[in-house]
Structure 1
Amino acid sequence: MKPLVAPPAWTQPLPEADPPAGMAVHQLPTGTYETPAALAVRGGSFRDKRQFAASAILVRHPRGDLLIDAGFGADLAAHVAMLPRFMRSAHHVGRTVGEQLDASGYDRSRLLGVVLTHSHWDHASGLDSLRDTPIWLNAHERRHAAEHWDGKVFRHVSRGHEIHEYGFDDRPYLGFPSSHDVHGDGAVVIVHAGGHTTGSVIVFVTVPSGTRYAFIGDLTWQLDGIRRRAERPWLMSRLADRDPHQVRQDLLRMIALEGTMHIVPAHDLRAYEGIPGLTPEPAGPAH
């Protein structure tokens, strides 16, 4: 199977960003589940077993922190039981995002919410450990999660949560036609990439060091999609993607950006290398 034709590399200036001091990005891994590479990328082997990451990202910002996705939840077994049998696979469970935040001494009142890259079970399950945290969804994904069969786990774990519905401005960002600048400083920008689900998003984050991240959700499941330009297998694309053509166009946009930023497909463990974990908060002064 031929890879996608390589798009021209991005040569325009990157968007302006003014990330404030104190901004930081942390990974919060919550577990993995096993998937043959043959079901993950075109040309993959059934002998090559990939451990799909189920992780969240904490983005610290002086004006309020955000989580990107929620990973596995405390009631994961019940969530997996809600899935069609063909979607269930062996998995390894770690600590939930809520447990990791609490163990570090993190003050949850700093959290503005959880931005879901999309509402599938392996991104939303951990909402059950974040009961008082708002869920950030755009109108497209809110509708998808409410109506589509693959939103069953989301509908279960989101009960009782405040839903913060955000919109997009007609302001292009790195080739994507619409965007939402969370803090107005270019440090955290959400773009609509509605191919995997109708409201799927990519979250671009720039930290004070100048390092840029792109948390691309399930635009591709593995870095092979970026580095080898390998799409999902045809059948998996038809099962998983609402608009395969849109997925292809957005994937090409991200391939063009390779080398300008740290691109993180949600389910590739390799993509999280170099992103620090969450360490305990420093103790306050003794009295």
Structure 2
Amino acid sequence: MALYRLPTGTYTTRAAFAVTGGSLRDKRDFAATAVLISHPNGDLLIDAGFGEHVAEHIKMLARMERAPYQRGRTASQQLDAAAYDRSRLLGVLVTHVHWDHVSGLDSLRVPVWINKAELRYGAGDSHGAVFRAVSEGLEIREYTFDGPEYLGFPASFDVHGDGSVIVALAAGHTPGSVVVFVTLPSGKRYAFIGDLTWQMDGIIRGAERPWLLHRVADVDAGTVRLGLRRSIALSRALQVVPAHDVAAFDSIPLLPSRFPSVPR
């Protein structure tokens, strides 16, 4: 079992629009990075990053949501460059359906792992327009939170049944947004918290999104605040990774030039 990061690009915004107390002079690069969880029972990507048609996806956003962006290789291209065996890939487990987490589904064309509340949000909300476009024709693997509270989050889903990959309901940012907990055989533990905070400022100094961005970006700011506090507490015991902080992914290796084959 192992983790690999697949950076697909970044987009740029001002820190003042990312975290409370941020400066208008401080420009932040927001990561669009997928993470591959390699597991003997089958692999999963956490989110999909930018896709082949990211320029078209950005045009689907409200004008105020568009930002300058830098495109890298898609997750699909990176997997192919590493000679990755696609038969191992069970699908993409989305933390939530906003465009910068699902754009890459356009070239991966694999099953989407998602819960009912998030699927309903993606089907009907204006912020789900890109998701609806890129997921058309894809298999939807809907999971349920049939497990107990997990590390302070109210319900959970154990992907492989061995405790190595636990999906916990966070909600707040979107109705079905999740945190993905990964425990490696070495004992190293990660919490991929999606957009509970966009940058590590939220974990290090408890900085929330500015009030206006809470209103625009979150369906329930109070639930986001609670999830952020839980994540701050957990950061003492495991590595917390906000989806859009570039440096937060640094300790996770890139895909090797040739992906190792694993007996199945």
Alpha-carbon displacement from aligned partner over 1:35-61 (angstroms, at most 9, x marks no partner): 100000000001000000001000000
Change (3 A) 1:240 1:157: same
Instruction: State the Cα distance separating 1:259 from its structure 2 match.
Output: 2.0
Question: Corresponding residue for 1:54?
Answer: 32
Distance 2:126 2:35 in 1: 26
Which amino acid is the alignment partner of residue 123 of structure 2?
A
Question: Corresponding residue for 2:76?
Answer: 98
Determine which of 252, 255, 264 is the counterpart of 1:278. 255
- 1:235 aligned to 2:212? yes
Instruction: State the Cα distance separating 1:283 from its structure 2 match.
Output: 7.9
Question: Corresponding residue for 2:174?
Answer: 197
Question: Corresponding residue for 1:5?
Answer: none
Alpha-carbon displacement from aligned partner over 1:143-166 (angstroms, at most 9, x marks no partner): 000010000000000011000000
Alpha-carbon displacement from aligned partner over 1:104-127 (angstroms, at most 9, x marks no partner): 000011011100000000000000
Question: Corresponding residue for 2:103?
Answer: 125
Distance 1:283 1:86 in 2: 43
Q: Retained in 2: the 8 A contact 1:170–1:177? A: no
Paired residue secondary structure (1:52): strand
Alpha-carbon displacement from aligned partner over 1:191-234 (angstroms, at most 9, x marks no partner): 00110000000000000111000000001000000100000000
Instruction: State the Cα distance separating 1:281 from its structure 2 match.
Output: 2.6
For these two proteins, the number of residue pairs brought into alignment is 261
Paired residue secondary structure (1:217): coil
Question: Corresponding residue for 1:37?
Answer: 15
Q: Map of 1:1-287 to 2, 5 A cutoff?
A: 23-131=1-109, 133-281=110-258
Distance 1:92 1:176 in 2: 34
Instruction: State the Cα distance separating 1:282 from its structure 2 match.
Output: 5.8
Which amino acid is the alignment partner of residue 79 of structure 1?
H
Alpha-carbon displacement from aligned partner over 1:254-276 (angstroms, at most 9, x marks no partner): 11111211110000011011110
Q: Retained in 2: the 8 A contact 1:201–1:217? A: yes
Distance 1:188 1:58 in 2: 12
Distance 1:193 1:41 in 2: 19
Paired residue secondary structure (2:193): strand
> Can you give the 5+ residue segments of structure 2 that lack an aligned partner in the other structure?
none
Paired residue secondary structure (2:90): strand
TM-score, normalised with respect to structure 1: 0.90
Change (3 A) 1:34 1:282: closer
Paired residue secondary structure (2:61): coil
Distance 1:32 1:233 in 2: 21
Runs of 4+ more than 2 Å apart: 280-284
Identical columns (%)? 61
Which amino acid is the alignment partner of residue 195 of structure 2?
D
Instruction: State the Cα distance separating 1:280 from its structure 2 match.
Output: 2.5
Q: Retained in 1: the 8 A contact 2:180–2:193? A: yes
Distance 2:147 2:104 in 1: 32
TM-score, normalised with respect to structure 2: 0.97
Which amino acid is the alignment partner of residue 109 of structure 1?
S
Distance 2:96 2:35 in 1: 14
